[in-house]
Every structure is written in structure tokens, then in C-alpha cells.
Amino acid sequence: MTRPARLALAALALAALLPAGGRGQPGSAGAETPAAVSWTLVVERPGGARARLEFLVAARTPTDAERAVAAALRALPVAPVPPGASAAWRPWGWAWSDDELPVPVAYNPAGAPPVVGPQAVIAGLQAWSSVEGSRFAFRYAGITDRTASILDAGPDGENVISWVHLPCHRGCVLGLTSKEEVHEVDILLNSNPNALTELGLDTVLDWRTIILHELGHMAGLDHSCPAPWGPCTPDEVAAVMYFQYTGINRVLAPDDRAGIRALYPAQPPPVAARRLALEPGWNLLVAPPVPPAELAARLPCLAVAYAFDGAAWLRWAPELPAPLRTLARFPPEAPVWLLASGPCAAEFPAP
Ligand SMILES: [Zn+2]
């Protein structure tokens, strides 16, 4: 692999736990009104591999949010690259190929809050794996010692959910998803127990909701609505993939399911086979959509076929010399006469 590993990161941050009114225009993010802010950064690893970071942070002011991102960045082994370097690639551009499904996801519980066990991960994997009309599926790969690759020099070949302590200061990154060009995606969750108290909140964060959202990024979905300021439809706001945490949301919304179906539609059902049986003598049947020679090859009892094209009778028979085989193809829906020397039958694709 000569191209540098590229990586995209999306982060979900605390927003709607904050008082109502948190969703507003950037200008409304004054001292009284907390708001989510979002922007993209390109960073470089010590080894040179670049990454794209998409942050969503809740904070009382844009300045606080910027500080929260800067604090989170200092805890990661990456350095910001001047703007303008990100134009060549898109953050969530690739989807898993069929031979990568189901996508294995391992969990590293080190540092997790006591309330978060593997079941929180498994529930999220199952939700995204059971969207009707989609072939997408995750597979729980068990407990791992590995950590999310954004903490390392590069991808390690395993899709991992792990925890790390990221600093919070009036704003807090809760989780981020990194997407490598080599088809590896990792999720990093913030184990900082002060994530809520730093924001002056005494409520309990629902990690299953956070994990479900990040797994949607891992599956290949972007946010349901352009972050950060929309406009967003009610359906987009209700989605798990909405860019703000809006409280417990453990069930995929129609918008989420539509997204996964669009990315990974269910395989078309196998073409229905139709059994065609000839009785000895004349049979009046709609012929399958194959050339007469192929029909005869698969129905050895076929002696001759006649079709009326509206003006004349056309015929085909194995015995006939080519110039006399006037029937080149069967009419798609009209019945034709087939003379059989005995009984025979075969399966053909349905028309
Ligand atoms: Zn997100």
C-alpha cells in the first residue's frame, strides 16, 4: 500500500442534555445558551499518515467548544495540519464490500464506566444488523486487548471500540469514530467521569445511545442532517444519526433505516425458476426467454416450434437447415406451439 492511510473521524458530543434552546444559530450561543458546534480538522500522525477529524462538541460558547476540541487533540497522538489539506477526499466515502460482511467488531472494556458492558456494544451491533431490506450486518468479535487505531501509528486490522480519558473543559467530546482508507473503522469513547459534571449536569449519560450512533458511522452513515445548523427535518432530528445527543435513543429511526438500506440494499431475490414440461404431441405454451436452439438443447423431446408473428408463421426445428429456421426468437408473452416427440422438462429463468 503506497498511498498514505487516510482516516476520517466523526465525534458525537454532549448537546441536548443541555437545556432546551441548545439548538440554535451559532450567533445564539451566548453565555446563557449552550450549543453544539462542529467543524473539520485535518491532522497528521507522527508517522505522517493524515486523518480527517470531524468534531461535534457541546459547550456554552464557541470559544469553549474550540478549547474542548483543542484539549481532546492534545490527548491524541496527532497534530493539526493547516486548513486546505482536506479537499481531496471525503470523510465517509467508502462502504463495506459484500465480502467484508458481516463486519467484525471487537470491544476493549478497559477504562469503561461500570455500567457499560459488552451488552451495550452487542445491542448496537444487532440493531444495525437487522434493518429490514438491508443486507448490512455486524458481527461481535469478542473482547480484545487492542485499542482504537487513532491512538496508534496506524490501523491494526481490527475494528475496535475502546475507551480513553479525554479532557473535558466546559465542553466534552463523548465519542469519536475514525475511518481508515484500508477499510478499518474504530470507535473511541471518552472514559472521563467528569464529562457530565464538567457541564454542570447530574443526569446519567446513555452510553448505549452513544455507541449506537458511532456504530452508524462505522457502518458508513454520515449524520442525518448537515451539522451543525441544519435546517433539519423532524425525521432527521429523530434519527440516531442526528449530530447531537438528544437523550436516550436506542432504536433506529426510519431515517437511519433508510440510510442503511440505501447503502446496503438487500440482495435482489434469486431469479425465479420456471419449470417447463412438454407432453408428447402439440403443446401451446409461452416459451422461456431463451433462443430456440437453447430451448431445444435443454428439452431434447422438442421436435419443432411454431410462432405466429401477426403476419406469418415462423418455425424452428433442430432438423431444419439454418435458412429455413425462420423463428429467431420467441415472442416474449404470446404462446407458441411446441411439438414434442415424448415427455421432457427443464427449469428456465422466469421471464
Ligand atoms: Zn456522529
pLDDT band at 33 (very low <50, low <70, confident <90, very high): very low
Average pLDDT over residues 228-240: 79
How far is ligand 1, taken at its centre, from the CA of residue 55, in Å?
8
Average pLDDT, the chain: 79
Ion ligand 1 residue ranges (Cβ < 5 Å): 10, 12
Which residue's entry shows cell 475502546? 162
- pLDDT of the residue at 62: 63
Whether residue 155 has pLDDT greater than 50:
yes
CB-based contacts of 207, cutoff 8 Å, min separation 6:
113, 115, 116, 120, 189
How far is ligand 1, taken at its centre, from the CA of residue 95, in Å?
16
How far is ligand 1, taken at its centre, from the CA of residue 309, in Å?
61
- What does the alpha-carbon distance between residue 98 and residue 241 come to, in Å, rounded to a whole number? 23
- What does the alpha-carbon distance between residue 32 and residue 247 come to, in Å, rounded to a whole number? 21
Other CB atoms within 10 A of residue 184 CB? 21
Average pLDDT over residues 118-123: 96
- What does the alpha-carbon distance between residue 336 and residue 351 come to, in Å, rounded to a whole number? 15
How far is ligand 1, taken at its centre, from the CA of residue 241, in Å?
6
Average pLDDT over residues 283-300: 91
Phi-psi group of 330: left, alpha or beta (phi > 0 → left; psi -120 to 50 → alpha; rest → beta): beta
How far is ligand 1, taken at its centre, from the CA of residue 221, in Å?
9
Highest-confidence segment of 25-29, 222-226, 293-297 = 293-297
How far is ligand 1, taken at its centre, from the CA of residue 324, in Å?
68
Q: Pick from 37, 43, 12, 188: which is nearest to 108 by CA?
A: 188
- pLDDT of the residue at 147: 93
In the chain, which residue ranges form alpha helices assigned H by DSSP? 62-74, 118-129, 207-219, 234-238, 254-263, 292-298
Residue with more model confidence, 163 or 228: 163
Q: Using alpha carbons, list the distances in angstroms from residue 62 to 30, 84, 190, 230.
A: 9, 21, 21, 17
How far is ligand 1, taken at its centre, from the CA of residue 296, in Å?
59
How far is ligand 1, taken at its centre, from the CA of residue 314, in Å?
64
How far is ligand 1, taken at its centre, from the CA of residue 122, in Å?
19
Residue with more model confidence, 351 or 319: 319
Average pLDDT over residues 30-50: 58
How far is ligand 1, taken at its centre, from the CA of residue 252, in Å?
14
How far is ligand 1, taken at its centre, from the CA of residue 294, in Å?
55
Question: Considering the chain, what percentage of its residues have pLDDT values greater than 90?
Answer: 36
How far is ligand 1, taken at its centre, from the CA of residue 272, in Å?
41
With residue 27 as reference, give the H or E element that holds it. none
How far is ligand 1, taken at its centre, from the CA of residue 206, in Å?
15
Query: Which domains, from first to last, does the chain contain?
Result: 7-263 (3.40.390.10), 273-349 (no CATH)
pLDDT band at 15 (very low <50, low <70, confident <90, very high): very low
- What does the alpha-carbon distance between residue 348 and residue 345 come to, in Å, rounded to a whole number? 10
The string of pLDDT tens digits covering residues 74-99 is: 888 877 765 432 222 234 668 899 99
The string of pLDDT tens digits covering residues 331-342 is: 888 889 999 999
How far is ligand 1, taken at its centre, from the CA of residue 346, in Å?
53
How far is ligand 1, taken at its centre, from the CA of residue 192, in Å?
19
The string of pLDDT tens digits covering residues 259-268 is: 898 889 997 6
Other CB atoms within 10 A of residue 346 CB? 19
Q: Pick from 253, 59, 82: which is nearest to 174 by CA?
A: 59
How far is ligand 1, taken at its centre, from the CA of residue 11, in Å?
5
- pLDDT of the residue at 34: 47
Torsion of CA 224, 251, 205, 170, to 10 degrees: 10
